[in-house]
Amino acid sequence: FIELYRQPRRLLYLNFIAGLSRGFGIAMGFTVVGALFVYFLGWLAALNLPIIGEFVADIIRIVQGELTTKT
C-alpha cells in the first residue's frame, strides 16, 4: 500500500482499470441474466398457462406499442 501511495499515478491507473473491469462485468452479467429471464418467460408462455400467458401477452403488446410509436 505504501508503494501505491508513493506513486499516485499508478494508484489512479489501477483504480481506473479496476472500475472498467467491474463495469464490464456488471454489463455482461446483466446481459446473461436478462437473456435467461427472457428465455424462461418464453418457455412459460409455451406451456400455455393462463396467468403467465396473459402476463407475457401484455408485455408483448406494450413492447409492440412502444415500437410503433417511435418509428
Going by pLDDT thresholds of 50, 70 and 90, the confidence category of residue 70 is low
Is-contact 52 44, C-beta < 8 A? yes
Q: Give the SS3 label for residue 20.
A: helix
pLDDT tens-digit readout, 19-40? 999 999 999 999 999 999 888 8
If you average pLDDT over residues 40-48, what whole number do you get? 78
Residue 44 contacts residue 56 (beta carbons within 8 Å): yes
Does the predicted model carry a pTM greater than 0.85? no
> Which residues have C-beta within 8 Å of that of residue 14, sequence separation ≥ 6?
4
What percent of the chain clears pLDDT 90, i.e. is strictly above it? 35
Q: CA–CA separation, 16 vs 21, rounded Å?
A: 9
**C-alpha cell, 31:** 446481459
